Copies of this chain bind each other. A is one copy, B any other.
Amino acid sequence: MSHNVFGHLFRVTTFGESHGPAIGCVVDGCPPGLTLSIEDIQVFLDRRRPGQSRFTTQRQEADAVKILSGVLRDEARGVDVTTGTPIALLIENTDQRSNDYEAIKSVYRPGHADFTYDAKYGLRDHRGGGRSSARETAARVAAGAVARKIVADVVIRGALVQMGPHRIDRSHWDWEETQRNPFFCPDAKAAGFFETYLDKVRKEGSSVGAVIEIVAERVPAGWGAPLYGKLDAEIAAALMSINAVKGVEIGDGFAAAELSGEANADDMRRGNEAGPLFLSNHAGGILGGISTGQPIIARFAVKPTSSILQPRQTVDRNGTETEIATKGRHDPCVGIRAVPVGEAMLACVLADHFLRHRGQVGGQVGGQVGERPRWPFAT
């Protein structure tokens, strides 16, 4: 990852600011021959789209994606397919209220990147955070939709597992439930509580953080590129690069530090042709930077939205001390909309690693690439 590009063989470049004409991305390195329609992408953008409940910013953006390149009509099949050339995706900004930001043109909002962009570049786009706005994550979600096409067998799903100090009850976990509440929360009871809780937070002009969990199932054993392209290292970078994220865990994460060696070991049994049976998954599906064949489990912590109505002490670029209370339109819990973003980033990392693995190892060892390894290996 560098500048505004990430990925090695499946490579995504994003562009655009909160209040410019458009945002978008170029997806390079996509295999040819995959069906890809606007709908395939739009469905994921719609999950991230603001203004869908009172718990997200009221900015109204259709987030309608256009495909500018990289697909071709296959007349015989009546579908559009990828050509193997760059797929440029464009999302126009439509509901911009730049004037909302005039007041903060020279004032730094604590918790935002206002001061740091100024310190780095000597100037900053103050309109909605400019490039540092969470609006950019729409481009990630669009790229993620393409990535999913490449690793079509893999099931990638995300869930909000904590809001503020309140954790869900994992015994209530129901993936279907994440489709039914505005929080992508897999615990129906917790979701009910979050509704009341977040209303209160919102009315107080405050905000709150969250923890998101992303799970990828059906990833074959063998993906990953040790030592510095380890699957977990690249997942960590991908998730940490999302706005407001302050921590990333794989499997048991920080809780693993508290375990003894015997408690942490994921014992193995013979299993079946799909792979050995692991008796637990403390490792979160990754050992030595390479997938084990178990579900890959990653979690990330999102800090509370920095834009709040409650006034904070700050300075302007002249060094004058002042205070600021953000008006604008904001999410009381920016972690909610991070769920589809986290899914997208994991999809991109996995697509990239699938291609990298296929490049280095091909179909010769570890089983036909794209399929489960032929286990046991030595028979």
- B-chain residues with CB within 8 Å of residue A266 when the two chains form the complex: 110-111
- B-chain residues with CB within 8 Å of residue A228 when the two chains form the complex: 1-6, 14, 237, 241
A157 to B352, CA, bound (A): 34
- B-chain residues with CB within 8 Å of residue A16 when the two chains form the complex: 68-69, 86, 88
A257 to B375, CA, bound (A): 41
Q: A260 contacts which of B90, B164, B221 (Cβ < 8 Å)?
A: B164
The residue in chain B whose Cβ has the minimal distance to the Cβ of A308 is B261
Q: Flag A73-99 by CB within 8 Å of B: 1 or 0 each.
A: 010000001011111101000000000
Q: Flag A219-263 by CB within 8 Å of B: 1 or 0 each.
A: 011111111111011111111110101111111111111111111
Say whether A240 contacts B248, CB under 8 Å: yes
Instruction: Evaluate whether A3 and B69 lie within 8 angstroms (CB atoms) in the complex, with A284-B246, A335-B257, A358-B359 already known.
Output: no
Say whether B123 contacts A362, CB under 8 Å: no
Stretch at the interface among A56-64, A185-193, A200-208: A200-208
- Please report which residues of chain A, range 20-39, place their CB below 8 angstroms from some CB of chain B when the two chains form the complex: 20-24, 26, 28-33
Say whether B116 contacts A15, CB under 8 Å: no
A292 to B113, CA, bound (A): 9
CB distance from A79 to the nearest CB of B (A): 12
A360 to B356, CA, bound (A): 8
Say whether A116 contacts B308, CB under 8 Å: no
The residue in chain B whose Cβ has the minimal distance to the Cβ of A108 is B268
How many subunits of this chain does the assembly comprise?
Answer: 4
CB distance from A87 to the nearest CB of B (A): 8
Say whether B33 contacts A121, CB under 8 Å: yes
Say whether B246 contacts A288, CB under 8 Å: no
Q: A265 contacts which of B20, B85, B111 (Cβ < 8 Å)?
A: B111
The residue in chain B whose Cβ has the minimal distance to the Cβ of A81 is B123
- Please report which residues of chain A, range 266-303, place their CB below 8 angstroms from some CB of chain B when the two chains form the complex: 266-271, 275-276, 279, 282-284, 286-293, 301-303
CB distance from A16 to the nearest CB of B (A): 5
A369 contacts the other chain (Cβ, under 8 Å)?
Answer: yes
Q: Flag A307-338 by CB within 8 Å of B: 1 or 0 each.
A: 11010111111111100000000000001000
Q: Flag A41-73 by CB within 8 Å of B: 1 or 0 each.
A: 000000000000000000000000010111010
- B-chain residues with CB within 8 Å of residue A235 when the two chains form the complex: 240
CB distance from A342 to the nearest CB of B (A): 14
Q: Flag A345-379 by CB within 8 Å of B: 1 or 0 each.
A: 00000000001111111111111011001011111
A131 to B87, CA, bound (A): 11
Say whether B365 contacts A355, CB under 8 Å: no
The residue in chain B whose Cβ has the minimal distance to the Cβ of A124 is B83
Say whether B258 contacts A122, CB under 8 Å: no
Say whether A3 contacts B229, CB under 8 Å: yes
The residue in chain B whose Cβ has the minimal distance to the Cβ of A88 is B15
- B-chain residues with CB within 8 Å of residue A1 when the two chains form the complex: 1, 228-229, 233-234, 237
Say whether A86 contacts B13, CB under 8 Å: yes
Instruction: Evaluate whether A288 and B122 lie within 8 angstroms (CB atoms) in the complex, with A5-B11, A131-B83 already known.
Output: no
Say whether A227 contacts B250, CB under 8 Å: no
Q: A258 contacts which of B209, B259, B289, B355 (Cβ < 8 Å)?
A: B209
Say whether A319 contacts B361, CB under 8 Å: no
